[in-house]
Amino acid sequence: MKAHAARVALLAAVSAATLGLAFAQDPAPAPTPAAPAAALSDQLPVPDAPAVTGTAWLLMDYATGQVLAGENVDERVEPASITKVMTSYVIAAEMAAGKISNDDDVMMTVNAWRTGGAGTDGSYSGFEVNKTAKLLEMEKGMTVQSGNDAAIALAEHIAGSEEAFASLMNAHAARLGMKDTHFENATGLSGPEHYSTARDLATLGRALARDFPEHYAYNAIKEFTVGPITQRNRNVLLWRDKSVDGIKTGHHSGAGYCLMASAKRGDQRLISVVMGSTSESQRATDSQALLNWGFRFFETHELYTPGEPMATQKVWKGEANEIGLGVAQPLLVSMQRGQYARLQPSMDVPRTLVAPLAKGQAVGKVRVMLDGKLVAEAPLVALADVPEAGFFKRLWHELLMWWQSL
């Protein structure tokens, strides 16, 4: 009996020593990054967003995709020439895939000239009919001058017809999560099934800046010359605010005056969308007010960096006895200024981690709460491989796990 008791005591001691954190893996506080210094003004209530004249509008944080303020953000609207942001996105994607190049000769066809050229009521670039221009020049004519003729010529060059190009646009829209968008053309001219929403358009602008920054940068060009004609970019905020570097205006009788603007101040970028405004000046004034309000009262933080261990947890039946856990992508959060210190992060991981584990494998979640509301979450992943241990170690751990379950 004494020998049996001794063996039981030894097993319990070894089990406790080996187990470590295994039973401390319920939801637990995650490490909290140091809070930045807060100004007294950050403790005051955030005023409402500025009043906007338009049918729909929003302000989005670029880093997180979070909508900071908005009205009718999911209401269908005519996107007008903001459509050309998707045209740019498709061009960039096709170029990245090696299907086209900046040096391609693009023909200004009779169809493109008649549908979108100088003889129409819309904006045009001025490339000569039945002559070619380099794709890069044609794309800048579309982006800076909002040339409908250039957009159609590019669509025909890439897909054979504008209709086929619209199918590409819709495929990319679906992939980007633009759930309430459908394109009929590459220009933004009015059509019964040509529509989007303020949220979807902001999502598109964010995607172009993120995925294809070189093509996004064309939107900051203030003027562009084709032949004898020099035209200014219609986004007047490029002259008013040096932090603004995009992105696209739009206007026709059905859509009203529209503007999707983007600005970067320090490490923070915001995207504003104003649809259905009453004039060119009003859309610019409202967009500027939204951007100023967002930068003044909101901030974006990276809470946790990929690859950095947030916790170390016990691993059973593995060659290693523990594993570091962290995030695979930066965990970002947007919030009102002065609220950072009130964030409450926690981790949720299984009570038992059993090898084998692969680097990058999701094993739990980190959640960040503010005043009882979830503001961000991300998978917790293994930061290294943990192969399965040999037979005897696995057998021993099996015995220990059984003992702890009693």
Active-site residues: which are they? Answer: 81, 84, 146
Report whether 81 contacts 124 (CB < 8 A).
no
Q: What is the DSSP letter of 109?
A: -
Query: Taking the CA of residue 165 as centre, how many other CA atoms within 13 Å lie in the half-sphere pointing to its CB?
Result: 25
Which of 293, 255, 291 has its CA nearest to residue 273?
291
Report whether 90 contacts 168 (CB < 8 A).
yes
Distances (CA, A) of 132 to 85, 105, 153, 217: 23, 6, 10, 24
Query: What is the Cα–Cα distance from 365 to 347, expressed in whole angstroms?
Result: 6
Which of 291, 271, 288, 265 has its CA nearest to residue 204?
271
* Cis peptide bond N-terminal to 247, omega within 30: yes
Handedness of CA 42, 43, 46, 47 (dihedral sign): negative
Which of 267, 363, 368 has its CA nearest to residue 313?
363
